[in-house]
A and B are shown apart, each in its own frame.
Chain A
Amino acid sequence: MAAPGPADPPPASLLAVENLHVRLERGGRTRPILDGVSLALARREVLALVGEAGSGKSVLARAIVNAVPPPLRVAAGRVLFEGKDVLALGERALKSVRGNRIGFIGANPMGSLDPRLAIGEQIVHKLRSVQPGLSRAEARERVLAMMARVALPSPAARFHEAPFQFSGGMMQRVMIVDALVSEPALVIADNITQPLDVTVAAQIIRLIDSLRESLGTAFLFISSSLPVVAQIAERALVLQEGRVVEEGRVAAIAAAPREAYTRMLVARIPPIWKGVAPLPKVEGAPVLEVANAVRTYVVRRRGTFNAKNQVKAVRDVSFAVRAGENFGLVGESGCGKSTLTRLLAWLERPDGGRIAFLGRDLAALGAAEFKAMRRTFQLLLQDPYGSLPANMPVQRMIEEPLRIHGHGSADAARLAQAAMAEVGLEPELATSLPVGLSAGQRQRINIARALVLKPRLLILDETLSALDQVEQAELLELFLRLQAEHGFSYIFISHDLALVRRVCHRIAVMYLGRIVELADNATLFEAPRHPYTRALLSAMPTLEANRFPREEYLLDGEPPSPIDLPRGCAFRSRCPRAAADCAATDPRLAPFADGNAAACLHPHGGDAPARTPEAADGR
């Protein structure tokens, strides 16, 4: 064994955190935030830090660069980075570490740069402040080179653009340039995929993985989701309330978690393919029928006086929801699901097409008839905080819909109390104001408000996404119980594919305002026909092996603007299967022999649509 010479490179460990304690000190009381955390990270390694909100992940990230803000304070411990204790460095020495040897990428790419200045100039400025020896021209060269490496299209032009001219995904690439341009040894990536859509997030993960290999940078990858880190990290550290509860290879933690907390984390992650029982087919009468719904917004073109642009938010959407059915609507931001939700809840009217409820066209109803019909379909909103009036007691809030529809106050009070019991709200809450109630309790109030009207259909617009896992599970159970008792139909509008997989009988996938695939649960997740559905599934972070490998199905680029859609099929600009005829024909949603439908000229699975595209109606 050769003895290391005096001039040998530093030890294999790049970063070592030893027994780190961080405390919150306020008003004479102290609370531990990090409680004896130790970790080691080798060069070129990706270490994941997993934990729920409040577990201390972000505080640890800050402690590593000695930037813990008051009232937090590092009470004990060492952070050895490249052999030096970062916590003992002075401000000047820190400057050569922070932003230089250690880069940082955060969850808010849009807010991280000055909105007024060109992104290139800002990154050049930052690079020269951490590496003062660099000339302006050299710094510029390096920024441009790095922009090319993260696959930002036409770097020389985009160098001069301001942050608002970038999409969220592109801006996250800019932040990666910002972090990597100084050629750091370590990059801390704090929740970087959280604000991004699932396919864009998958692209970013793929990019980071390739950069790590070519640049040899180590990554500390922080996330609250185990499936997300499983995509990129070898080794993971599970943090709970400031303590490391488990450490090991991600695959091992996922397969056989040792600690109770980690077991619970893993158990909460629903399976997508392995051991999923198929949902029964629902054969009720249609409750809601949407036929060729169209909604176009007219917006003024930027920089002109009266030139108008048309934003085609919903294009020719048709589907039907049956009694007792759970219908899923999924898609990425900008696909038109919010607009479609507003149309379904009749907060806006479609420009074309028909929305019929219980067989009656909503547009044809008179005011009184419509108000009566209003009772039968209800929308539950996403934000449990903004959706309740702040100065009304809980029971009064639940009486509100009954009073609107003309019930007497004694009658309304009785029904409201019954509804509170049914959704699991304690009677003591009747007189309290919503301030201080948890998100789950607030959503229960919303559910009770809808429930008292005895609706037939509930539209759930990301209703569960603001809740934590435990509350989510409880409310889901409540929804299913109410469905069994009252025969509700649900429309789940969600970006959470795992949730949709668990509860929805049929699912529609939207892309650029159109339903591109409408299929039953098993077909959609196991043998989807539209390439976009496959791309969505391949981008989904999972612990189990993904049936749709990214190398094969993941898309490049981002959706085109809904203002100028490509001619022919709107998806062809990103479609791996696009052929010449895709540019000529815009495929409509066409059913197959099994009753499922896709809007594609060259669907996966080989079989041709059963009927001509023009006859499609999506039922």
Chain B
Amino acid sequence: MAETGAAAAVRPAPRGATPSRRMLRLAVSRADFRIGLAGFLLLVAIALLLPLVSPINPTKIAYQVKLLPPFPAEGWQWPHVLGTDQLGRDVFMRCLVGLRYSLLIGITTVLLMFVVGSALGLYAGFRGGWADAVIMRLTDAQLSIPMIILAITILGVSRPTVPAIILVLGLSGWPLYARVVRAVALGERTRGYVLGERVLGASDWRIMLLFVAPAILPPIAFVAVLDVARMMIYEAILGFLGLGVQPPTPTFGNVIADARKYLLNAWWIATMPGLFLLVTLTCLNLMGSALERARNAVLQGEA
């Protein structure tokens, strides 16, 4: 039984490092995080390097090798280990290029949402008053527009380039970060260390950037890993709807959309990109949920 009263609060056991480092260390010590990380790094390495060194052009049409099945099946041909599509293009290479776009868009979007959302949320929560009211009404307005409607409007009017797609996804995602960061910053504002800095004469900007941000952002950044997976799915959805990066550039979404017609006699064209997406998302989710659990464990341990 814990001792009663104020004396119990005094002197918790030393635990070695800052909360964020403890979270990271705890997450890394988990097997699921390590498996996720290893798988993810492997996929990223293949997607980045293989198209550079391989002689196969993922957009080159070759009717003589069209609709080849993948590796163990009867009739497959080297080097098309995952088979070819209706125009004789290599499915494996098309998947890798699709994964490149998917990762590029997913990671950049999350970075953008995190930076913009956190900056606005931090400012709103820490300064309060008018800034808070204006920024929070902006998040309300943004959240009232469904992402797909926004995507159809913007990507339908302008050309669906990579920056445009990132902008659309980022626009629909930043308010969540702004709200979460604001809520935490609001609580930090009255903490002792903030008061201590004020008394020493530090400006609000100095306190926000040097103290509050490093204290509250890492745990939120950890969980953002899960959002990369979410954004990759959205990218695939946009591609499927024809609002993603346009053919002939292969993306998960447009490849699957094209291959629907051949699902009965050439199942691999649509299935392979799906599998790539599935494995990547699983790796990301393993990492994300390990980080999330580590965060909860550390926060509860401190409470």
Q: Bound complex: CA of A438 vs CA of B192, how far in Å?
A: 17
How far is B16's CA from A383's CA once the two chains are assembled, in angstroms? 21
A347 close to B (CB within 8 Å): yes
B5 within 8 A of A: yes
Return B99 CB to nearest CB of chain A, in Å.
36
Contacts of B3 in A (CB 8 A): 53-54, 57-58
**Interface residue tally for chain A (C-beta within 8 Å):** 50
B197-205, B236-244, B288-296: which lies at the A interface?
Answer: B197-205
Distance in angstroms between the alpha carbons of A379 and B193 in the assembled complex: 12
A466 at the interface (CB under 8 A from B): yes
Task: For residue B220, give the distance in angstroms from its CB to the closest CB of chain A.
Answer: 15
**Chain B's nearest CB lies how many Å from the CB of A174?**
19
Main secondary structure of the interface of B (DSSP, over half): helix
A445-464 residues at the B interface, CB under 8 angstroms: 446, 449-450, 453
Stretch at the interface among B6-14, B45-53, B223-231, B271-279: B6-14
Chain B contacts for A390, CB-based, 8 A: 18-19, 193, 215
A62-B1, A347-B195 given. 19 additional CB < 8 A pairs?
A53-B5, A53-B7, A53-B8, A53-B10, A54-B7, A72-B1, A191-B5, A194-B5, A347-B198, A379-B199, A389-B215, A392-B211, A404-B202, A433-B17, A435-B16, A449-B200, A450-B200, A453-B200, A466-B9
Contact A375 B199 (CB under 8 A): no
The 3 A-B pairs at the shortest CB distance, nearest first, are namely A436-B14, A53-B7, A386-B192
Do A389 and B211 touch across chains, with their CB atoms under 8 A apart?
Answer: yes
Interface of A is mostly: loop
A466, B11: Cα distance in complex, Å: 10
A467 and B9 alpha carbons, distance in the complex (Å): 11
Q: With A190-B4, A194-B6, A433-B17 in contact, do A439 and B11 touch (Cβ < 8 Å)? A: yes
**Chain A residues within an 8 Å CB radius of B206:** 404
Q: CB distance B6 to A347 under 8 Å?
A: no
Q: Supply 29 A–B pairs (Cβ within 8 Å), ascending by A.
A: A54-B7, A58-B3, A62-B1, A68-B1, A69-B1, A106-B4, A194-B4, A194-B6, A224-B7, A347-B195, A371-B201, A374-B201, A381-B192, A385-B192, A386-B191, A387-B195, A388-B193, A389-B197, A389-B215, A390-B19, A391-B18, A391-B20, A391-B215, A392-B211, A400-B200, A401-B201, A404-B201, A404-B202, A446-B196
**Separation in Å of the B24 CB from the closest CB of chain A?**
12
CA A69 – CA B2 in complex, angstroms? Answer: 10
B126 to chain A, nearest CB (A): 15
Residues of A within 8 A of B18 (CB): 390-391, 433, 435
Q: CB within 8 Å of B: which residues of A?
A: 52-54, 57-59, 62, 68-69, 72, 106-107, 190-191, 194-195, 224, 345, 347, 371, 374-375, 378-379, 381, 383, 385-392, 400-401, 404-405, 433, 435-436, 438-439, 446, 449-450, 453, 466-468
Interface flags for B146-182 (1: CB within 8 Å of A; 0: not) read 0000000000000000000000000000000000000
Report the separation of the CA atoms of residues A385 and B19 in the bound assembly, to the nearest whole angstrom: 14
Complex CA gap A390/B13 in Å reads: 15
Chain A residues in 8 Å Cβ range of B17: 433, 435
Q: Kindly report which residue of chain A lies nearest to residue B201, judged by CB atoms.
A: A374
Residues on A with C-beta less than 8 A from B10 are 53, 439, 466-468
A374 cross-chain contacts in B, Cβ below 8 A: 199-201
Contact of A435 among B15, B192, B201, B202 (CB under 8 A): B15
The yes or no answer to B214 lying at the interface (CB within 8 A) is yes
Which residues of the partner chain B approach A72 to less than 8 Å between Cβ atoms? 1
A59 to B8, CA, bound (A): 14
Q: In the complex, A195→B7 CA distance in Å?
A: 12
Q: Which of chain A's residues has its CB closest to B20's CB?
A: A391
**In-complex Cβ contact of B193 among A52, A107, A387, A433 (8 A):** A387
- Asked whether A389 lies within 8 Å of B16 as measured between CB atoms, the reply is no
Please name all residues of chain A whose beta carbon is closer than 8 Å to the beta carbon of B5 when the two chains form the complex: 53, 107, 191, 194-195, 224
In the complex, how many angstroms separate the beta carbon of A383 from the nearest chain B beta carbon? 5
C-alpha spacing A432/B99, complex, angstroms: 43
Q: Which residues of A contact B193 (CB under 8 A)?
A: 386-390
A residues within 8 A CB of B197? 389, 400, 404
Please tell me which one of the listed residues A58, A388, A466 contacts residue B196 in the complex, with CB atoms under 8 A apart: A388
Q: Within the complex, what minimum Cβ distance (angstroms) separates B7 from chain A?
A: 3
